[in-house]
A and B are shown apart, each in its own frame.
Chain A
Amino acid sequence: MKNEAPGLAERLRRALVIAAVAAVVYVPGVVTLWMLLAGRA
């Protein structure tokens, strides 16, 4: 059976998933690094 390429909506959903996970995993680390560098931690 032929594998169909995902449509635009599905590609957008996947991009959103990747962005959301990356943001939740890395943004707190960036913010806390910022706090350290700003002398607020």
Chain B
Amino acid sequence: MRGKGLTFLAAVTFVAVLAGLYMTFVYAPPERFMGDLQRLMYFHIASAWAAMLAFFVVFATGIGYLVTRRTAFDHVAVASAEVGVFFTTLVLITGPIWARPVWNTWWTWDPRLTTTLILWFIYIAYLLLRSSIADDARRRVVASIFGIIGFADVPIVHFSVTWWRSIHPNLFSGGSINMDPAMTRALMVNGIAFVLLYALLTWLRARLEAVRDEAAALRHRVYDMADGDRP
């Protein structure tokens, strides 16, 4: 059942990604002033959405683990954090490439950019923290608490363009998206494709974490039995 679900998700993601690429490079019109470079936006924003979702899942599974102590929550949390860091890296790479010709600089300490960079550091620290604690139970608890606290930066990133003076464009203002309808459609298709890709990567990574955990537990039992056999 699980295998079928994964195959189905992989197939749907593949179709969505192809549709996203078509919408980006063929369907969406070039922007009047920025030309084709503006097409980066579809990947930039879609990656940001997927990253925000990923860190929300780390937050939610952190709470789930602390409440229930079920390791499945922790497997999803570490998988989601890794995939979230990947998407945030994409955001931080595509942003400066887009900014250079538009703002005439690769990087500026704008509130949105700075808080996004901090977000990236937080989840890099989350992964480093996990790898630095040997005891399984302690690592899971500490990581869950870190994941819950770290999520506080996500709403700050989102509202940074309205709370402070920012040169970063605000896509949603006045309750609607300020874009050509064809561009909005292309963005939505890419958004769906990236969220599906997030789900697929997280699923694959989480199931790997689950079998690794199981293998580690069995290895301990084998060692214990070998120790017991010794005179």
Asked if chains A and B come from one complex, the reply is no
Please list the residues of chain A having a beta carbon within 8 angstroms of any beta carbon in chain B: none
Interface residues of B (CB under 8 A from A): none
